[in-house]
Amino acid sequence: MAATTGSFPSLSELLAWPTEHLTEAADYWTATGNRWYEVFNQMWRDSLSVDWKGNGAEGLRTRTYADNAEVSGLVDQLHGAATTARAGASDLYAARSRFRYSVDDARDARFHVSEDLAVTDRSTARSSAARAARQAQAQAFAGDIRQRALQLVGLDQQVASRVGSAMTGIGNIFPADSPTTTTTTTAPPPPPKCEPEDISELMHRVDEWNRRDAELTDEISAYNREKHDFNMNDPEERRESADYIRRGQGLQAKKDKLLADQRDLIREVMECGGKIVDNEIRWPNGTTSPRRTPTPTPSPTPTR
């Protein structure tokens, strides 16, 4: 006997519903935004320090200032899109797990779930009453599986829509030059000045950020070395998987906060006249500070 569930993606497709593309996109957008900000802010800073006067110099400074301001907004948009993508990946993973648990519950009760999501009784109940009870149970499992499948597919569409909205307009980065773009006489703001004690305090904050980054790198590296291939048919390993996911999400949140703090520090460093060259921060007083490489990303959780 079987209880059918209608037309859906196949069982195998639903059990393997992808989420990694969202976290990979989020990492890429975050890194891209950080690079954009560094490059355009440095271009603006360089235009202010060049020993050049006249309309050409004013046009250069006006343009680099406008580009830097526009890129700052785009960086915020990229970081927002990254947050949306990571939240979507987490929601989809949870929805996929709920679907998987429904299928596992049916299988644990000795029902067969086929690729078309039909639920079939595998027992050999003899009495008509027992067969009727098993058929009712199969229908209940089929209804639950159908609901979970609909939720997963519907959520995937919602996530795609949210991510698409978050990225709206990001491709049209700079408008084409118009006759007024290069002839405007709006003066850029004067370069900010930092006192020696301000630079000293900023250097201390950079050192503190490097320390936090090193600690988080060690923490994520240790986390990634842990077992993360879980058998979702085993209740204990299900709990371990859920705990692993929860801790990974916490580490990702710490990494996001660290990257946001890094962006603020880069802006302040450049506003005080510092420059970032390769993996060093070069301060106005001639000293340098190391700039650490990006922290790793917590590993996803394979299941079987």
pLDDT in tens, 156-187: 999 999 999 988 877 655 444 443 333 333 44
More confident residue, 277 or 79: 79
CA dihedral sign of residues 142, 144, 148, 151: positive
Per DSSP, the residues of the chain read: -EE---S-S-HHHHHT---HHHHHHHHHHHHHHHHHHHHHHHHHHHHHHS---SHHHHHHHHHHHHHHHHHHHHHHHHHHHHHHHHHHHHHHHHHHHHHHHHHHHHHHTTEEE-TT--EEE-S---SHHHHHHHHHHHHHHHHHHHHHHHHHHHHHHHHHHHHHHHTTTTT--SPPP-TTTTT--PPPPPPP---HHHHHHHHHHHHHHHHHHHHHHHHHHHHHHS---B-TTSHHHHHHHHHHHHHHHHHHHHHHHHHHHHHHHHHHHHHTT-EEETTEEE-TTS-EEE-PPPPP-PPP--B-
The confidence score (pLDDT) of residue 74 equals 85
The confidence score (pLDDT) of residue 163 equals 92
Q: Is the pLDDT of residue 119 over 90?
A: yes
Q: How large is the average pLDDT for residues 237-260?
A: 79
Q: How large is the average pLDDT for residues 92-99?
A: 90
The confidence score (pLDDT) of residue 178 equals 40
pLDDT in tens, 19-72: 899 989 988 888 888 888 888 877 877 777 766 677 777 777 778 887 777 788
The confidence score (pLDDT) of residue 13 equals 92
